[in-house]
Amino acid sequence: MKPAILEMSDAEYFASYSEFMTATQLKTFKRSPQLFDLERRGVIVKPETQTLRDGSAFHCGILEGREAFLERYTVSDGPVNLRTGKPFGAQSKAFQAWIESQDNPSEVISSETAEAVFEARERVYEHPFAKLVFREGRPEVAVRAELGKVACQGKVDWLGENHIADLKTCESIERFERHFFHYGYDLQAAFYTELVRANGLPVSKFYFVAIEKTPPFVVAVYLVSVATIEQARLEVYSLLEEYQECQKKDVWPTRTENLRSI
């Protein structure tokens, strides 16, 4: 396939999700080829959680700005209880009936969440290193290329002239650091770097910008080391090779077949 850097909506990107390997899918494959296969065939469908919806809202507001956020999202607390003069709670039947009546419920955001998004954006652009990372470049760039004979795609949060940046919302900065390798962020960094380089762009740095989701919205910026990228790059190609073998034989192990010691 021909490498490509594309401008596309989330809907367009996810419509072709089953045709390409992504960083998220590769991390699932690493955990369990069987789970990867079941999810890709739609046998198991991961529900869209409030955490994911809020994460998307933070990404839009921080990376694309207030105007783009308000264009995409409807900010509303839902119907008002006439007896109390206050909105019904999000768990109430009245609220659930109202949210289900919306054209796109996943893009209805509470005023509290919207305020948090705007404040978080301010904290990011006040940070001495985060503001430099996002000084030049563009957000939400879809990238496609063939890696190890496998058609792959990714949506890069931020693509600069010689760097990539990924925004992560988190419960705490300490938790982000502790779980960096557990969540496969090293694989993600290597995967995106390979995709962008395959398109002829000489990116040399990958940053993670982590921000806590609650006040005071602490921000930390991490430069992924060359050694970490290289080690993860080797693992990416090893996993892609294993994926092709599973696909060829149509055998998808769980990775828990063998006896374990504990």
DSSP code per residue over 81-115: ETTTTEEPPTTSHHHHHHHHTSS-GGGEE-HHHHH
28, containing H or E segment: helix 23-31
Check whether residue 6 and residue 110 sit in a common domain. no
Q: What pLDDT score does 141 carry?
A: 96
Q: What is the largest CA-CA distance in the chain?
A: 64
The total number of structural domains that make up the chain: 2
The answer to whether the beta carbons of residues 117 and 167 sit under 8 Å apart is no
- Residue 134: give its domain's CATH number: 3.90.320.10
Check whether residue 35 and residue 53 sit in a common domain. no
Average pLDDT of the residues in 80-96:
86
Does a structural domain hold residue 109? yes
Which of 115, 143, 167 is the C-terminal boundary of a domain?
115
Does a structural domain hold residue 170? yes
Check whether residue 169 and residue 63 sit in a common domain. no
Check whether residue 138 and residue 184 sit in a common domain. yes
Q: What is the mean pLDDT of the chain?
A: 94
Does a structural domain hold residue 225? yes
Q: What pLDDT score does 89 carry?
A: 81
Does a structural domain hold residue 197? yes
Round to whole Å and give the CA distance between 225 and 218: 22
Check whether residue 68 and residue 30 sit in a common domain. no
Residue type, 131: K
Check whether residue 26 and residue 138 sit in a common domain. yes
- Asked whether the predicted pLDDT for residue 50 surpasses 80, the reply is no
- Asked whether the predicted pLDDT for residue 93 surpasses 80, the reply is yes
Q: What pLDDT score does 51 carry?
A: 79
**Least confident piece of the model among 14-18, 20-24, 204-208, 226-230:** 14-18
- Asked whether the predicted pLDDT for residue 100 surpasses 90, the reply is no
Tokens of 143: 């990238």
Residues of the chain with pLDDT > 90, as a percent, come to 76
- Asked whether the predicted pLDDT for residue 48 surpasses 80, the reply is no
Check whether residue 244 and residue 133 sit in a common domain. yes
At 52, the pLDDT band (50, 70, 90 cuts) reads confident
Q: pTM (2 decimals)? A: 0.92
Check whether residue 16 and residue 55 sit in a common domain. no
Does a structural domain hold residue 122? no
SS3 205: strand
Pairing of strands 74-75, 108-109: parallel
Check whether residue 98 and residue 54 sit in a common domain. yes
Check whether residue 11 and residue 132 sit in a common domain. yes
Where in the sequence is the domain holding 59, given as residue range(s)?
48-115
Strand partners, 75: 109
Check whether residue 135 and residue 232 sit in a common domain. yes
Which of 71, 88, 115 is the C-terminal boundary of a domain?
115
Residues contacting 137, CB < 8 A, separation 6+: 158, 159, 160, 161, 163, 165
Q: What pLDDT score does 155 carry?
A: 96
Does a structural domain hold residue 258? no
Check whether residue 131 and residue 101 sit in a common domain. no
Q: What are 142-177's pLDDT values in tens digits? A: 999 999 999 999 999 999 999 999 999 999 999 999
Does residue 139 have a cis bond before it (omega within 30 degrees)? no
Does a structural domain hold residue 244? yes
Q: What are 184-243's pLDDT values in tens digits? A: 999 999 999 999 999 999 999 999 999 999 999 999 999 999 999 999 999 999 999 999
Does a structural domain hold residue 93? yes
> What distances in angstroms separate CA 46 from CA 28, 35, 36, 188, one per listed residue?
12, 11, 11, 20
> What distances in angstroms separate CA 105 from CA 62, 72, 110, one per listed residue?
21, 12, 11
